[in-house]
Homo-oligomer: A and B are copies of this chain.
Amino acid sequence: MVTPRRAWLVAVGDELLNGRTVDTNSGFMQRCLADHGLHTDAVLVVPDRAERIMSALEGTPAGALVILTGGLGPTRDDLTAATVATWSDRPLTENAIVADHLRALCERNNFPYRENMIKQGLLPNGFEALINPLGTAPAMVGEAHGRTLVLLPGVPQEMRALWPQVSAWLSDRGLQGQRLPSVLMRTARFSEPGLAKATESLRENHPGLDWSWWLTRWGVDVQASVADTDADLPEGLADRLAAELGDRVYARDLRGLNEVVQADLIAADRTVAVAESCTGGMLGAALTEMPGSSACFLGGALTYADDIKSVALGVSPETLSVHGAVSLETAREMAAGCRERFGGDYALSITGVAGPDGGTVDKPVGTICLGLASAQGVYAGRYRLGPHRYRNRELSVSFALDALRRHVAHGVDPFAGAEGEVRR
């Protein structure tokens, strides 16, 4: 039996090469494979053309687990199953289980069981089918030329819905790798160079480890792994790393900052409301992304226009005219007004110059002011982010959530020392 340790992903689809569709399947699959202790060695994106799918298959190393996504649909440009059949010398054959399932599905939905539908019941001879709970195209699993092959539909929801069955099939065949011991820290409020600097001495003291870090929606993640399976992580490494990174670490697992904040709020039986200007709803959207958010999120006000800041949150027109919309004073009044009007244990506010226009000498693009109101008091802080509108909005949400996270944990001013800080 083949026991691959490395996976190759082949994403099939013209739409992945015309700049319109971002391939999010590959990342999902990489995370799923990591749970099996399998590392992804490469991703290949190829068009819906048989010879290109064929040469991608040829290019995978013997012994690999090869996962193909896309090209399993009903139309004539869906060529993955037929190409795998040709490459494997296993002609397409009707799979009785899939055919029965599709026939029943058509009957139930009063839909003709015709050519297009019949096509989806054809598998490379000897391959097993896994029934698609959300669509008509089944997943197909089998072996050929020393590779283990998994064919999945390209529609992200269907691919994800089929994964548990694929995972069980892989486990049944003993397709599990060994996970290398590693430590992960997810941080907010670090830039990449800032994080590199904070970890420098630790990295110099442990040159035998694999160190990597990368930008995320929330900030920067850093990971240290042993370089081979016989080694162990140095004792106490995680604690030393945490000590170097300080209170900017929000998770040591894969959770996002919004998930951590939601879990912390629910555990503390606390609620939050938001007051957003330059982020226009992104903070609320982040706090309602996960199921169960109604247990801690109440709502809030989007106060993009200045007079709405007064109408909806009671920010004094004098504050706005004297200090401006992007100021500690306005952030403070937005948070206080939000807590008073929407209730809730905490209120978070964001006001800033997202760019590309609206910057001044005193308040250049990337200047953001955050506010937080709680039973302990009303706090505000100012930060300097970068030149990019999208990233400034994204990081404003991250900085605000991180302030709330630390205030929920410690009850102190989360902006102490922020004033005047420049962070990109």
Contacts and interface: CB of A to CB of B under 8 A. Distances in A.
Interface of A: 14-24, 26-34, 39-47, 52, 59, 77, 134, 155, 157, 212, 214-216, 221, 274, 276, 278-289, 291-294, 297-305, 308, 311-312, 341-343, 355-357, 386-391, 393
A294 B26 CA distance: 37
A355 B293 CA distance: 11
Contacts of A29: 19
A301 B297 contact: no
Contact of A299 (B33, B41, B304): B304
A178 B17 CA distance: 17
B44 A52 contact: no
A278 B281 CA distance: 12
A15 B214 contact: yes
Contacts of A343: 308
Given A280-B293, A299-B302, A308-B343, 16 more contacts: A16-B43, A17-B41, A18-B40, A21-B27, A23-B23, A41-B52, A42-B52, A43-B44, A77-B212, A134-B387, A276-B284, A281-B282, A281-B283, A281-B285, A281-B302, A297-B304
A44 B301 CA distance: 44
A267 B5 CA distance: 58
A266 to B, nearest CB: 14
Contacts of A300: 281, 301-302
B24 A22 contact: yes
Contacts of A285: 279-282, 285, 393
Contacts of A386: 157
Nearest to A160: B388
A19 B15 contact: no
Contacts of A21: 27, 214-216
Contact of A281 (B40, B276, B308): B276
Contacts of A16: 43
A42 B23 contact: no
Nearest to A11: B43
Contacts of A215: 21, 155
Nearest to A277: B299
A30 B19 contact: yes
B46 A17 contact: no
Given A30-B19, A282-B285, A299 B298 contact: no
Contact of A14 (B33, B212, B281, B292): B212
Contacts of A134: 387
A357 B291 contact: yes
Given A27-B21, A302-B301, A312-B342, A42 B43 contact: no
A389 to B, nearest CB: 6
Contacts of A34: 18-19
A234 to B, nearest CB: 20
Which 8 interchain pairs have the tightest Cβ spacing? A281-B281, A280-B288, A281-B284, A19-B30, A19-B31, A43-B45, A15-B214, A281-B285
A276 to B, nearest CB: 7
16 contacts: A15-B214, A19-B34, A21-B27, A22-B23, A42-B46, A59-B59, A274-B302, A276-B284, A279-B288, A280-B293, A280-B297, A281-B300, A299-B302, A299-B308, A301-B312, A308-B342
Contact of A293 (B282, B288, B298, B304): B304
A342 B311 contact: yes
Contacts of A391: 157
A280 B287 contact: yes
Contacts of A22: 22-24, 27
B303 A299 contact: yes
